């Protein structure tokens, strides 16, 4: 079963002001069914949530976390805690809250929003600086 309109509106789009609403029907039509295993993991059914079994493998890894202000599942404080945990386990983490870069209104699907080029430009710069 494809994601419900409520899931699309409440989770994928959330409070975004940047998603082109005229494209909503086409976006919904492009979505595929969510595999049951993904739902179980997300809800941690029977302890199935994805786990980091060996945090030492994070040591030295470069990680970028990008959060939009209107993403209902990724509050600044929550993603900040994830960044701190990754750092505490040896990862080199950059945590970007987009409004700190003057980019606002983004939800979970920022790559589909009307300012995605600006976000992609920031990320491409990070990648270029990271792989040298």
Q: What is the pLDDT of residue 89?
A: 97
Q: What is the pLDDT of residue 111?
A: 96
Q: Tell me the C-alpha distance between 132 and 128, whole Å.
A: 7
Tens-digit pLDDT profile for residues 73-129:
899 999 999 999 999 999 999 999 999 999 999 999 999 999 999 999 999 999 999
Long-range CB contacts (within 8 A, 24+) of 31-37: 31/2, 31/3, 32/2, 33/1, 33/2, 33/3, 34/3
Q: Using the predicted structure, report yes or no on whether residue 132 has a pLDDT greater than 90.
A: no
DSSP alpha helices (H): ranges in 1-132? Answer: 5-7, 24-30, 36-43, 76-88, 116-130
Q: Using the predicted structure, report yes or no on whether residue 42 has a pLDDT greater than 90.
A: no
Is 31 strand, coil or helix?
coil
Q: Using the predicted structure, report yes or no on whether residue 39 has a pLDDT greater than 90.
A: no
Residue 55 · residue 25 · CB < 8 Å: no
HSE-up of residue 8 (Cα within 13 Å, Cβ side): 18
Q: What is the pLDDT of residue 128?
A: 96
CA dihedral 126, 128, 131, 132 (to 10 degrees): -120
Tens-digit pLDDT profile for residues 1-29:
688 999 899 989 989 999 999 999 999 99
Tell me the whole-structure pTM to 2 decimals: 0.89
Q: What is the pLDDT of residue 2?
A: 80
Our measurement of the distance from residue 129's CA atom to the centroid of its chain's CA atoms, rounded to an integer in Å, reads 21
Q: What is the pLDDT of residue 131?
A: 86
Q: Using the predicted structure, report yes or no on whether residue 38 has a pLDDT greater than 80.
A: yes
């Amino acid at each position: 079963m494809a994601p419900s309109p409520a899931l699309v509106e409440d989770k994928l789009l959330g409070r975004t002001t940047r998603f082109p609403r005229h494209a909503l029907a086409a976006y919904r039509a492009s979505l595929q069914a969510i595999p049951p295993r993904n739902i179980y993991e997300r809800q941690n059914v029977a302890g199935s949530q994805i786990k980091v079994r060996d945090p030492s493998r994070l040591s030295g890894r470069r990680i970028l976390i990008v959060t939009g202000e209107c993403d209902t599942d990724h509050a600044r404080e929550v993603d900040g805690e994830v960044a701190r945990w990754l750092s505490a386990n040896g990862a080199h983490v950059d945590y970007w809250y987009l409004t700190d870069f003057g980019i606002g209104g983004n939800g979970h699907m920022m790559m589909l929003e009307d300012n995605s080029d600006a976000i992609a430009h920031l990320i491409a710069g990070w990648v270029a600086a990271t792989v040298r």
